[in-house]
Structure 1
Amino acid sequence: MLPAPADTDRRLAAVLPSAIASLTGEPTASGPSFALPRARSAAVLLVDGLGTANLAARRGHARYLTAVLGKRDAVRTVFPSTTAAAIATFATGADPGRHGLVGYRTLVPERDILANQLNGWEAGLIQPDWQRRPTLFETSAEYGVTSFAVGAPRYADSGFTRAVLRGAEYRAGASIEDRFAIARELLDEVDGALVYLYVPELDQLAHAEGWESDRWLAALERLDAAVMGLGERMPRGAGMLVTADHGVVDIPASRHVFVDRDPGLVDGVRHVGGEPRNVALYFEPGLDASDREALVARWRDAEGDRAWIITRDEVIDAGLFGVVDDDVRPRIGDLLVAARAGVAYYDSREENRQAERMIGQHGSLSDEESRVPLARFGAYAKP
């Protein structure tokens, strides 16, 4: 059985539309929303790789942030629970089935190649119109909202930034503290400002050393101090939301599973995409129906006890990608292997095997990966 979030669960797609509505007094034309008090300006902080489970387990290192969080102060991210899909949904208010970024490495059907959704733009593998929806930064300008994106210098002109942050003026800050200082200035100086603030450091450290490492904890403490510094000196009438794109689980090398260990699991598979916690298998185009069914059955026999084995039709029917546009459908794997145990899947035939060094992982449907915090400060603070 697939885990199905309740229809009443708040979704990541609603966070930015809700902030915009608080500035304009009008619901946005795209994306769901939830009620927030009116605000003069708004900051929305997205912390890459900070799930509610990660935060709760280390609440003593983030006392300011966790002090305002109740059990229901959370939202569900997208499936797959990965940065490219989640930030695109955050920035457009649309599900992956509409905006088209349906994973980490996905098929470009017209070119029969896999493309990394974060850096494939620079490699020329993805065209500018691959992200198919207008951003909320673009559409909110019609309501008089001035949008800014505050992030690291390395992302200022990336293809992914251009695709998902269109309509926002980019301001670069090298450190967490630099970025918070820039956000504070913008909130103070620009009436009607919408400031998107991005913190990638925790995710980077989780991948490299694990979210239970000392360096990850140190970064969490820096983040908490920065949130406190801004939260206690918010300009009058400004509100701040803090959320994330996904959570993280640590997977040791002893828990790696290689998809090519059994030739029967890759016989008929043309591309192995996705990511270690959510593998996307693309079948050979000429594979007939009986061979496809047999391949799915082999996967369920081999891995059904520790992963959800889901066909493309099943995942679409379950609504995990939201409404899926016809042009997006072939980007989704013919078969998805979404880990539910503490394992990560790799292909030992890959030329570049650096990904096997990663400790922190995400992408699947577990609560640890898909449930993220929603903290409120300033004008948005709970009474």
Structure 2
Amino acid sequence: MPLMLPSESAAARSIVGVADDLFAAVRGMGDTRIRSGVLIVVDGLGAIDLRAHAGHARFLTGRMTKRDTATSVFPSTTAAALTSILTGTWPGEHGLVGYRVLDRSRDRLVNQLSEWEAAGIDPRVWQASSTVFERAKDAGHPAYALGIAAYAHSGFTHATLRGAEFVAVASAAERVEAAYALAAEHEGAIVYCYLADVDKAGHKHGVDSSEWIAALEDVDAALSRPVPDGVGAIVTADHGMIDVPAHRQSVFDETSPGMSDVRHFGGEPRMVHLYLEDGVDHDRAAERWRSGTDGVADVATRAEAIAAGLFGPRVTDAAASRIGDVVLAARGNRALYDGTAADQRGRGMIGQHGSLTPEERQVPLIRLGALAR
């Protein structure tokens, strides 16, 4: 059964390498030359949800035309997408192919955002692609990354922000202000500013909640401050989000067809990596899961997903080893859960992402300051 992929415009811009495009403008390699550049990533802010709440984000939507969008990667999740933005490579190359993926050398699932140290993973080995900050540093340009203090020394930070000087700043407004100040002060700098509050509010309360709207308003206000003269800024996101009500959850337990084949149930609820027991035929297992998830998810073997280009045009051996033997991409506003897991707290999450819907994959790509159209 062929894997059905969403149709996308041939002219659609990808988030892959957005940071490199900004750095090229700093270096004068194109039609636009800027003194320094600021990349602002608003985690979880999809273009569709942004437009749907335009009244609460008048600054951003007032500067966003129909062309000012980009397409996220697959899976449309933070670990994969942020790494693609900052390295200029697809998940199949940088290797962060999901939220929780299998380290086959240790036969354990590893959370790609928070378990690097606990799993004994070396970020430079696990994620070997160079970052835009390393390329900037090699070319003699200052590089900075602004986030909250708790992220300063994490494994994920070392995997994606190496080469940049990390600057801890508490609030979104202060972070944007500090990013612009660094860009104004340091000629030729590339500055990365990460804003997480929209994503956090969406996961906990949903994208139509008052909490999500308040977070959006705070971000919009923070970004409305003037960009310093000669500085160019790009506002984008790693992915969007879709609300999953409790009655749209599919839970698989010991009685579910195909679960007896599964050794590890990884990924996340909207893009599951199934790692099978030794000796299980992948094609037959995929057929069982297709029967058991009819109308709920698109199902593919690892080989089918790679051949379809889901993880990008090139997939390294290391990345391939982390992709599930079978992958499940949730359709519509569905989510898929491992009912055998001891910890079921994740089932309380409302806003979710990871799959192939436009809500998850279409993100803003708004140019400000010296890059404004």
Alignment TM-score, normalising by the size of structure 2:
0.96
Matching residue within 306, 316, 320 for 1:316: 306
Matching residue within 192, 203, 210 for 2:206: 210
* 1:31 counterpart residue number: none
* 2:288 counterpart residue number: 298
C-alpha offsets along residues 12-49 of structure 1, whole Å, 9 cap, x if unaligned?
113111100001124xxxxxxxx662100111100000
**Paired amino acid for 1:198:** Y
For the residue of structure 2 that corresponds to 1:263, the secondary structure is: coil
Q: Report deviation, 1:4.
A: 4.4
Judge which range, 261-270 or 314-323, deviates more: 261-270
* 1:154 counterpart residue number: 150
Alignment TM-score, normalising by the size of structure 1:
0.93
* 2:95 is the alignment partner of 1:104: no
Q: Do the aligned residues in 2 keep the contact of 1:115 with 1:126 (CA within 8 Å)?
A: no
* 1:29 counterpart residue number: none
* 1:163 counterpart residue number: 159
For the residue of structure 1 that corresponds to 2:318, the secondary structure is: coil
* 1:10 counterpart residue number: 13
Q: C-alpha distance in 1, partners of 2:113/2:318?
A: 20
Q: Report deviation, 1:121.
A: 0.9
* Runs of 4+ with >4 A deviation: none
Q: C-alpha distance in 2, partners of 1:181/1:72?
A: 27
Alignment of 1:1-383 (within 5 A): 1-26=4-29, 37-128=32-123, 129-229=125-225, 233-260=226-253, 262-287=255-280, 289=281, 292-322=282-312, 323-382=314-373
For the residue of structure 2 that corresponds to 1:374, the secondary structure is: strand
Segments of 5+ residues of structure 2 without an aligned counterpart are none
With over 3 angstroms needed to count, the CA separation of the structure-2 counterparts of 1:262 and 1:37, relative to structure 1, is: farther
Q: Report deviation, 1:300.
A: 1.1
Judge which range, 139-148 or 356-365, deviates more: 139-148
**Paired amino acid for 2:289:** W
Q: Report deviation, 1:8.
A: 2.4
Q: How many residues align?
A: 368
For the residue of structure 1 that corresponds to 2:354, the secondary structure is: coil
Q: C-alpha distance in 2, partners of 1:316/1:294?
A: 18
With over 3 angstroms needed to count, the CA separation of the structure-2 counterparts of 1:253 and 1:125, relative to structure 1, is: farther
Q: C-alpha distance in 2, partners of 1:38/1:14?
A: 18
Q: Report deviation, 1:144.
A: 2.4
**Paired amino acid for 1:354:** R
Q: Report deviation, 1:297.
A: 1.3
For the residue of structure 1 that corresponds to 2:98, the secondary structure is: coil
Judge which range, 96-105 or 185-194, deviates more: 185-194
Q: Report deviation, 1:147.
A: 0.7
Q: Do the aligned residues in 1 keep the contact of 2:283 with 2:301 (CA within 8 Å)?
A: no
**Paired amino acid for 2:195:** V
- Structure 1 vs Structure 2 CA RMSD: 1.3
C-alpha offsets along residues 194-233 of structure 1, whole Å, 9 cap, x if unaligned?
110000111011111111110110111111111101xxx2
Q: Do the aligned residues in 2 keep the contact of 1:150 with 1:183 (CA within 8 Å)?
A: yes
* 1:32 counterpart residue number: none
Segments of 5+ residues of structure 1 without an aligned counterpart are 27-34
